[in-house]
Amino acid sequence: MSGQDVRTNNVMAVQAVANIVKTSLGPVGLDKMLVDDIGDVTITNDGATILKLLEVEHPAAKILVELADLQDREVGDGTTSVVILAGELLKRANDLVRNKIHPTSIIAGYRLAMREAVKYIEDKLATPIDVLGTETILNCAKTSMSSKIVGADSDFFARMVVDAATSIKTYNDYGDARYPIKSINILKAHGKSVKESQVIKGYALNMGRAAQGMVKSVKNAKIACVDFNLQKTKMQMGVQVLVSDPKELERIRQEELDITARRIKMMIEGGANVVLCSKGIDDMALKYFVEAGCIACRRVPKDDLRRVAKATGAQIILTLSDMEGNETFDPECLGTCAEVCEERVSDDDMIVLKDCKNTQACTMLIRGANDYMLDEVDRSLHDALCIVKRTLESEKVVAGGGAVEAALSVYLESLATTLGSREQLAIAEFAEALLVIPKTLAVNAAKDSTDLVAKLRAYHHASQTKPDKAHLAGYGLDLVKGELKNNLGEGVLEPALSKLKSIQFATEAALTILRIDDLIKLHPEQEE
């Protein structure tokens, strides 16, 4: 296929993908129920999750899925709006091409518009956090959650998220504050209501001790993270043992047990009093731990093991053999924390590591009625954590609720009329396309979008042309009442980084697809 056919085809595919997520945008967005080929159900309105679970065949539509994934990795939230924006930019570009404007001119215009938009946000729209005070961080978290299932309890959860994020604050080599979201563990436990979720200081593992005889808590814990079997040692594959005397068989069996026992004794003598093993531990081997007063856990997930190693300063031990071929245990590999204890939560036991050496790890324990609820709350909290991290690190916020898009649209439109080149049309279309966000927000809230968006533009036009109306720049939609309000003052905020990245990513993705003018498809050869 070539020429206009390809473009129309691509734009249709992209529109189809954008329309799927369109209704899930905003504080009153609706959820999607996705059922996969084996019948697993996911209920979510997180753009990235929806697109990940769709098996998209069309090559152009795949670009959008990758786009949402990129936004999710870079910013953590705003995945839905980035897809909708890219779809709209493409649709408008396609109309321009139909009107005999060369794609190259459009690409140049879009590029220019993107650069101007980014510059305008940085210079005019972004407000530093310190101007707005400490509530800002909470408000950013609330704005991120407003469209999610936890939106009803956003006050409670925003506090939780901000507590968790500030408790893991670390500094990098240049003295900048960093908030490694990875060191927050999110545990899900059935039962009770969502409001009874809590933040636990320390790293919690969703499992109990390996044997009931072990002590419940160990002070001044020395933690060994092992990644090999502590079961009865078997000979390697291909090793044959020829036995001439049947009485020797018993000794071989005994030796198999003794090797493991020696390994465990070596670890205990090296000072380890908590052993986390990612593989199995034999019941026979457990008695050595019980006698030594240690806590041992078996089948610890690899991810948890890595995070514990990072938090406590331990090294994951893959094998005990050293350079000489003997087995030795190096006490250097042990991590430390103030206490390791087993706590009971609903019906499950949890192992909690308190006051770790390196980072202040913390765990968010989510309670809820059923699995779907817990999974969705987990996704919502992850998005909110990422937003808090971005806000704290970049220290600049913008007003939410379509305020930025409306301001940019007005600004770019007036910019387009000053240009005497071909890019003028493309920039004007870019400005129009940005309005898709406030329009969609209003439509999803069952409000009159034409009316609201027109008012919004009038406000922003006034704020940009009349010096005495400059305070109108923070105005956006209030979707509960269906009117305009000052979102900067009311605390509907997003990190500036999120907006910048989504405009850049959406433009890049739209241009990638717009550049395509030929599609050559190879069919698999028919075998005889």
How far, CA to CA in Å, does 368 sit from each of 11, 195, 196? 41, 8, 8
Q: Is 391 considered catalytic here? A: no
**Closest to 197 measured CA to CA, from 42, 45, 389, 373:** 373
Q: Is 378 considered catalytic here? A: no
For residue 159, how many other CB atoms are within 10 A of its CB? 14
Helix axes 403-418, 436-444, angle to 10 degrees: 150
Which of these is catalytic: 42, 49, 80, 136? 80
Category of 525 on φ-ψ map: left (φ > 0), alpha (ψ -120 to 50) or beta: beta
Contacts of 481 (CB under 8 A, 6+ apart): none
Which of these is catalytic: 77, 304, 383, 478? 383
Q: Is 130 considered catalytic here? A: no
Element holding 344 (H helix, E strand): strand 335-345
Q: Is 80 considered catalytic here? A: yes
**Closest to 49 measured CA to CA, from 86, 83, 4:** 83
The angle formed by the CA atoms of residues 84, 497 and 415, to the nearest 5 degrees, is 70
* 419: helix, strand or coil: coil
The answer to whether 445 and 27 have CB atoms below 8 angstroms apart is yes
**Closest to 113 measured CA to CA, from 522, 516, 430, 458:** 430
Which of these is catalytic: 79, 136, 391, 507? 79
The answer to whether 311 and 356 have CB atoms below 8 angstroms apart is yes
**Phi and psi dihedrals of 235, rounded to 5?**
-70, 150
Which of these is catalytic: 31, 46, 77, 304? 46
Active site residues: 46, 79-80, 383
